[in-house]
Amino acid sequence: MTTSHLDALVDALRKLPGVGVKSAQRMAFHLLQHDRAGAQQLARALDEAVRGVRHCARCHTFTDQALCAICSDTHRDARQLCVVETPADQAALERTGSYRGYYYVLMGRISPLDGIGASALGAAGLMARATEGDVEEVILATSFTAEGEATAHVLSEGLKARGLKVTRLARGVPAGSELEYVDLSTIAHALVDRR
């Protein structure tokens, strides 16, 4: 039995995170019924990105050059290296405008249940990057999930063994929130990490 073009489109859209069958169908129907030019633009952009986007040779984020724009910026603070899980995390930190060092993007996190260990994340590449040049402090900006914490712990041990100062993002009560509505784990960590 052959798959129709519409079924193939719906199946392709389902590859996106959080997109189920119904959402994929709505997107497909919208593109085909109301925005065929947008569908062609999307197809071209996806094709060009798949062919042209690669990993930065220095930080491992996505780029279409050998070095990404951040790694090419000589005005950044070479003493700081911030380790993040994904390019999306890197973009979020950049949007704050408060960090001016360089990055290393892991492209994931340690997940023993999925068979992903430190070597699968490319920890050796991080260790090499952290020990080259002027890096004095490595900031671990992994998520505060069990996997993110495990990743931070394993990387911290390896980086400290190489004589580097290792810090972790602070966590605590979000600005503008009321304590009675904050989950107990966040309050507990805020008390422990108080300054």
Q: Is the pLDDT of residue 60 over 70?
A: yes
> What is the reported pTM?
0.83
User: Once rounded to an integer, what is the mean pLDDT over residues 143-160?
Assistant: 92
Give me the pLDDT at residue 2, please.
55
- Residue 195's pLDDT band (boundaries 50, 70, 90)? low
User: Once rounded to an integer, what is the mean pLDDT over residues 161-165?
Assistant: 94
Q: CA 195, CA 191: separation in Å to the nearest integer? A: 9
Using the structure block, give the residue that is written with the tokens 């892991």: 106
pLDDT per position as a tens digit, 105-136: 999 998 888 888 888 888 899 999 999 889 99
Task: Tell me the pLDDT of the chain averaged across its residues.
Answer: 91
**Residues whose CB falls within 8 Å of the CB of residue 194, separated by 6 or more in sequence, listed in order:** 172
pLDDT per position as a tens digit, 1-56: 556 999 999 999 999 999 999 999 999 999 999 999 999 999 999 999 999 999 99
The larger pLDDT score, comparing residue 190 to residue 86, is at: 86
Give me the pLDDT at residue 99, please.
93
User: Once rounded to an integer, what is the mean pLDDT over residues 147-173?
Assistant: 91
| Residue 109, SS3 per DSSP | coil
Tokens for 23? 């959402």
Give me the pLDDT at residue 121, please.
83
Pairing of strands 54-55, 62-63: antiparallel
Give me the pLDDT at residue 42, please.
94
Closest-CA residue to 123 (of 94, 162, 88): 162
- Residue 82's pLDDT band (boundaries 50, 70, 90)? very high
The larger pLDDT score, comparing residue 174 to residue 6, is at: 6
